[in-house]
Amino acid sequence: MLHKLLLTILSLLSLTTAHFRIEYPNWRGDSFEGTASQWIYPCANVNTTAAANRTLWPPTGGSLRLHVSHTWALTYVNVGLAEPNGTVASFNASLLAAHNQTGNGTFCLPAVGQAALEELAREAGVEGGVEGLAGRDATVQVVQIGHGGSALYNGEGGVYG
């Protein structure tokens, strides 16, 4: 009986630690605090419209550093341009699709999504192409799908610089 209880507790502990953190650039809010939860779409229930905590994201593609605790996951990086009122209606451009992250710890993704940003600018009718994104607010969404198939969400706020 004690053996089954111990096994159950250890199994539950592994579930609670199987999350990730955006280390660079800074995330929009701590998805481990208060009403936030990485289980909540689209960005873990953190404020994505606040003007504070914005990072310059190069139109040529930015870099990400994540600290992950899954031994493997499929990692997606999406972006949505903010509307004039500051809200992001959809994450309509994938900067990185189905990256097979193997091993836990810290990993870096340099220059993520230049081609996708060019396509996004073209589809949005932005004058000047990708360079016309300069000064536009956006939210970068990072999604991890672990071995169990469930998705975890985090967000990073950006301004194209």
Average pLDDT over residues 143-154: 89
Sequence-ordered list of residues with C-beta below 8 angstroms from that of 38, at least 6 positions apart, any chain: 19, 20, 31, 32, 44, 152, 153, 154
**Does residue 65 belong to any structural domain of this protein?**
yes
8 A C-beta contact, residue 60 and residue 77: no
The per-residue pLDDT for 142 is 92
**Does residue 9 belong to any structural domain of this protein?**
no
Please count the other Cβ atoms lying within 10 Å of the Cβ belonging to residue 152: 23
**Does residue 11 belong to any structural domain of this protein?**
no
Nearest to 96 by CA among 79, 84, 114, 113: 113
**Does residue 14 belong to any structural domain of this protein?**
no
Helix (H, G, I), strand (E, B) or coil at 1: coil
Calpha distance 119→122 (Å, rounded): 5
Q: Is pLDDT of 75 > 90?
A: yes
**Does residue 3 belong to any structural domain of this protein?**
no
Nearest to 36 by CA among 152, 143, 160: 152
Domain assignment of residue 142, given as a range? 20-160
The per-residue pLDDT for 38 is 85
**Does residue 10 belong to any structural domain of this protein?**
no
**Does residue 53 belong to any structural domain of this protein?**
yes
CATH code for the domain in which residue 87 is found: 2.60.40
pTM: 0.80
DSSP state for residue 82 in the 8-state scheme:
B
**Does residue 127 belong to any structural domain of this protein?**
yes
Number of compact structural domains in the chain:
1
Q: Is pLDDT of 9 > 60?
A: no
The per-residue pLDDT for range 115-140, each reduced to its tens digit, is 888 888 888 888 888 888 888 888 88
| Separation in Å, CA 99 to CA 64, 86, 95, 144, 146 | 13, 29, 11, 9, 12
Average pLDDT over residues 38-64: 77
